[in-house]
């Protein structure tokens, strides 16, 4: 059985395989009751204040509204000890203060759309994200990826990939330039 998008109707076309005669049908209410209930109450949203992470926040806010879930916006300030012979351009305290201010701005932009908390940590981003998800009892992590490939991925690493590998809960990774399943708001042009 194959599912294909139908662009004319906006729905889905189902193609049966050679051995399939009809769609599977469950006639009893008992079968429907046996399905697990999707319980989504806590969503962790790691942000780095990029356009890509703002896109992940849009998805997270929509899911939080739909399921009545609570959002936790998280920023991790990665601390690097400066080499003795170099002067650091930005101190860790400045990076922490910047993160705190930007988290508050994001918190205000969400407004009443969903209950929201902010969390600021220092350390290795993927480790802090997975640890926070475990400590908070998060049901879902929604984070973005910049989609680096090749040499840039080797040099910059992939926080999203590491979170997916080590997270204690499901992870939704939002790519910057991929298919959208959120519809933009309808506007009337005069």
CA distance readout (Å), 14 to 9, 22, 49: 13, 11, 40
pLDDT of residue 94: 86
| Centroid of chain to Cα 161 | 12
Q: If residue 65 lies in a helix (H) or strand (E), which one and from where to where? A: helix 51-67
Query: How far apart are alpha carbons 149 and 29 in whole angstroms?
Result: 48
| Averaged pLDDT, 133-154 | 77
Task: Give the model confidence (pLDDT) of 72-122 as tens digits.
Answer: 999 999 876 655 555 555 567 888 899 999 999 999 999 889 999 999 999
Overall pTM > 0.85: no
pLDDT at 27 over 70: no
Structurally, at CATH architecture level, domain 36-175 sits in 3-Layer(aba) Sandwich (3.40)
Question: Where along the chain do its domains lie?
Answer: 36-175
- State residue 176's pLDDT score: 74
């Amino acid at each position: 059985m194959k599912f294909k998008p139908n662009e004319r109707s906006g729905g889905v076309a189902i193609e049966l395989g050679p051995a399939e005669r009809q769609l599977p049908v469950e006639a009893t209410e008992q079968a429907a009751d046996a399905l697990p209930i999707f319980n989504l109450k806590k969503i962790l949203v790691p942000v780095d204040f990029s356009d890509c992470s703002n896109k992940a926040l849009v998805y997270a806010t929509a899911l939080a509204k739909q399921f009545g879930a609570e959002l936790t916006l998280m920023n991790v300030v990665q601390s690097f000890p400066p080499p003795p012979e170099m002067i650091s351009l930005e101190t860790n305290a400045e990076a922490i203060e910047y993160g705190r201010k930007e988290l508050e701005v994001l918190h205000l932009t969400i407004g009443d759309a969903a209950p929201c908390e902010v969390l600021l940590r220092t350390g290795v981003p993927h480790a802090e994200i997975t640890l926070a998800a475990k400590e908070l009892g998060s049901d879902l992590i929604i984070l973005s990826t910049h989609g680096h490939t090749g040499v840039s991925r080797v040099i910059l690493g992939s926080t999203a990939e590491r979170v997916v590998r080590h997270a204690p809960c499901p992870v939704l990774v939002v790519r910057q330039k991929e298919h959208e399943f959120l519809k933009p708001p309808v506007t009337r042009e005069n």
